[in-house]
């Protein structure tokens, strides 16, 4: 459904089967599918984890935690069953990459889940898709059914003595469920309220058993690592940031789309060459480099490599790889307000700093943008956000606070221009539409 794009700088691993009919299991096999899992069976748990560590693959959900290390935290012996859980709740504004994986290459996710299961000695995996992705659930269900029919799932997979089952599962609309502990709660049929940690999911997770939770892109990458070899895979990226990543370019850019580029690819080049620059003769005002929770970068700050370490050094985060490009016609107060409206809507309400903080920030920003702001509001917005940081049960509070602090610090003049009863001086959209009358 979603349109595919292409650029010569792309290195196509994850996207190598996009548009080639690989939802069919026979096509997937023809395109080198289900070869990685056979290698993994031969390697055994320790061999798999060693390869994963050598690949320098880091989690594609946002935090960038080394995947091999995450898997190694699962205890070898466990009284309770162990589980693999795929996070396909893709809901971070600016992010639409997992959708393409499920749509075009569902078997790569299945293969990744089996390999993860082999690594930790699990017999069951779950693929959790956000409720809005119904057509992808249908694709995933068919793929799982076909894998059972071939003997790749079920009893004695690939002729081994190992059993493995996969269940696909739908959510019903909740950003917060993308947080790993809330995801487990949701899969257990409850409200998506985060759990206190420790214990971490690797020790006490789903149904109380040791669980590894990985983003869909992370697990879809795994078969490619075993197919080409961990050393080859690591070589594609930068130091401690192995491989490629699906970057979703959106916003004020000439050629939006999902592009697979090596980790460390230059952000400026990504916007101006891969994305074709800023359309309509406008110029760049800001870039949100990794989804809505990542602090915006100024045009002077984008000559950086897009890997976890370099973006962190620039004061932001690589996040989920959703690159949102903002041109000079946009009011950054309105942008900050829309971002906060989202977090206030999605806060689960469990802990006070997040529930109250996002709501007060939304109210203050709404009033401020409408022209009823006073000078002290600007510092108050920053102060409120600052006081949420690190004081919430889960990272949603931080995700709301971090971009807000950056909006105030980097676009203070735009805030000041809204003072003294002035209507939004940057308005290019009717206020009525924003207020949602």
Q: Is residue 437 part of the contact set for another protein (CB under 8 A)? A: yes
In the numeric block, which tokens belong to residue 399? Answer: 């995700």
Shorter beta-carbon distance to another protein: residue 51 or 185:
185
Q: Is residue 135 part of the contact set for another protein (CB under 8 A)? A: yes
* Residue-level length of the chain: 437
- On whether the CB atoms of residues 183 and 192 are closer than 8 A, the answer is yes
- In the complex, what is the shortest distance from the CB of residue 261 to another protein, in angstroms, rounded to a whole number? 14
Instruction: Please give the full DSSP string across 194-214, using - where no structure is assigned.
Output: PPPSSSPTTTS-GGGS-EEEE
Shorter beta-carbon distance to another protein: residue 281 or 430:
430
Q: How far apart are CA 117 and CA 49, in angstroms?
A: 11
In the numeric block, which tokens belong to residue 389? Answer: 């940081």
Binder of another protein out of 20, 27, 29, 132 (CB under 8 A)? 132
Q: What angle do CA 95, 100, 103 make, to 5 degrees?
A: 140
Tell the burial category of 154 from Cβ atoms under 10 Å away from its Cβ (0-12, 13-18, 19+): middle
> How many residues sit close enough to another protein to count as binding (CB under 8 A)?
66
Q: Is residue 170 part of the contact set for another protein (CB under 8 A)? A: yes
Q: Is residue 281 part of the contact set for another protein (CB under 8 A)? A: no
Q: Is residue 40 part of the contact set for another protein (CB under 8 A)? A: no
Shorter beta-carbon distance to another protein: residue 159 or 430:
430
Shorter beta-carbon distance to another protein: residue 123 or 235:
123
Tell me 166's DSSP state: E
Instruction: Kindly provide the residue ranges of all beta strands, DSSP E only, lying in 263-327, ordered along the sequence.
Output: 284-288, 322-327
- In the complex, what is the shortest distance from the CB of residue 334 to another protein, in angstroms, rounded to a whole number? 8
Q: Which residue, 225, 2, 223, is CA-closest to 95?
A: 2
- In the complex, what is the shortest distance from the CB of residue 35 to another protein, in angstroms, rounded to a whole number? 29
Q: Which residue, 209, 193, 170, is CA-closest to 81?
A: 209
Binder of another protein out of 144, 174, 406, 424 (CB under 8 A)? 174
Cα–Cα distance list, 41 to 78, 107, 218 (Å): 21, 17, 19
Grouping H, G, I as helix, E, B as strand and the rest as coil, residue 217 is helix
Q: How far apart are CA 64 and CA 76, in angstroms?
A: 24
Tell me 301's DSSP state: G
Cα–Cα distance list, 272 to 131, 252, 266, 291 (Å): 34, 11, 10, 19
Q: Is residue 330 part of the contact set for another protein (CB under 8 A)? A: yes
Tell me the window of 21-29, 45-53, 167-175, 214-222 that interacts with another protein (CB under 8 A): 167-175
- In the complex, what is the shortest distance from the CB of residue 158 to another protein, in angstroms, rounded to a whole number? 23
What residues from 77 to 106 belong to the interface with another protein (CB under 8 A)? 81, 90-96, 98-99
- In the complex, what is the shortest distance from the CB of residue 54 to another protein, in angstroms, rounded to a whole number? 32
Binder of another protein out of 12, 155, 190, 313 (CB under 8 A)? 190
Binder of another protein out of 305, 322, 357, 395 (CB under 8 A)? 322
Binder of another protein out of 173, 199, 421, 425 (CB under 8 A)? 173
Q: Which residue, 84, 168, 185, 181, is CA-closest to 130?
A: 168
Q: Is residue 107 part of the contact set for another protein (CB under 8 A)? A: no
Q: How far apart are CA 54 and CA 72, in angstroms?
A: 13
Tell me the window of 50-58, 331-339, 364-372, 383-391 that interacts with another protein (CB under 8 A): 331-339
Q: Is residue 427 part of the contact set for another protein (CB under 8 A)? A: no
Shorter beta-carbon distance to another protein: residue 79 or 437:
437
In the numeric block, which tokens belong to residue 226? Answer: 């075993």
- In the complex, what is the shortest distance from the CB of residue 239 to another protein, in angstroms, rounded to a whole number? 29
Tell me the window of 154-162, 344-352, 371-379, 393-401 that interacts with another protein (CB under 8 A): 344-352
Shorter beta-carbon distance to another protein: residue 190 or 363:
190
What residues from 200 to 259 belong to the interface with another protein (CB under 8 A)? 207, 248-252, 256-258
Tell the burial category of 422 from Cβ atoms under 10 Å away from its Cβ (0-12, 13-18, 19+): exposed
Residue 127, φ and ψ in degrees, nearest 5 = -115, 105
Residues in touch with another protein (CB under 8 A): 1-3, 81, 90-96, 98-99, 124, 130-135, 167, 169-175, 186-192, 207, 248-252, 256-258, 288, 292, 322, 324-327, 330, 335, 338-339, 342, 345-346, 348, 429-430, 432-434, 436-437
């Amino acid at each position: 459904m979603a349109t595919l794009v292409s650029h010569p700088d792309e290195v196509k691993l994850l996207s190598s089967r996009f548009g080639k009919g690989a939802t069919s299991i026979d096509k997937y096999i023809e395109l080198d599918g289900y070869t990685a899992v056979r290698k993994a069976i031969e390697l055994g748990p320790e061999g798999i984890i060693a390869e994963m560590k050598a690949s320098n693959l880091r989690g594609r959900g946002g935090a960038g935690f080394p995947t091999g290390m995450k898997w190694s935290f699962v205890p070898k012996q466990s009284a309770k069953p162990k589980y693999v859980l795929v996070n396909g709740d893709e809901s971070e504004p600016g992010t639409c990459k997992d959708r393409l994986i499920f749509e075009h290459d569902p078997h790569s996710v299945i293969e990744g889940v089996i390999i993860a299961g082999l690594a930790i000695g699990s017999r069951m995996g779950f693929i959790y898709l956000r409720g809005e992705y119904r057509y992808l659930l249908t694709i995933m269900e068919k793929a799982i059914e076909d894998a059972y029919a071939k003997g790749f799932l079920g009893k004695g997979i690939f002729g081994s003595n190992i059993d493995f089952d996969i269940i696909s599962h739908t959510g019903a609309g909740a950003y917060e469920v993308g947080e790993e502990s809330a995801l487990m709660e949701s899969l257990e049929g409850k409200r998506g309220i985060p759990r206190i940690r420790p214990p971490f999911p690797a020790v006490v997770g789903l149904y109380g058993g040791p669980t590894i939770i990985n983003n869909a892109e992370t697990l879809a990458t795994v078969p490619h690592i075993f197919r080409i070899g961990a050393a080859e895979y690591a070589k594609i990226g930068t130091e401690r940031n192995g491989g490629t990543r699906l970057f979703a370019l959106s916003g004020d850019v000439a050629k939006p789309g999902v592009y697979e580029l090596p980790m460390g690819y230059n952000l400026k080049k990504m916007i101006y060459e891969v994305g074709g620059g800023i359309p309509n003769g406008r110029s760049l005002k800001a870039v949100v480099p990794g989804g809505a929770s990542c602090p915006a970068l100024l045009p002077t700050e984008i000559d950086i490599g897009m890997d976890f370490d370099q973006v962190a050094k620039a004061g932001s985060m690589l996040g989920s790889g959703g690159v949102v490009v903002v041109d000079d016609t946009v009011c950054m107060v309105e942008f900050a307000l829309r971002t906060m409206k989202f977090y206030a809507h999605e806060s689960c309400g469990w802990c006070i700093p997040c529930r109250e903080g996002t709501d007060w920030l939304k109210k203050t920003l709404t009033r401020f943008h409408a022209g009823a702001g006073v000078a002290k509001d600007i510092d108050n917005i920053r102060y409120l956000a600052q006081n949420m940081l690190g004081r919430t049960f889960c990272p949603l509070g931080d995700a709301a606070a971090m971009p807000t602090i950056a909006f105030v610090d980097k676009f203070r003049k735009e805030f000041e221009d809204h003072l003294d009863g002035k209507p939004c001086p940057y308005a290019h959209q009717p206020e009525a539409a924003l207020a949602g009358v």
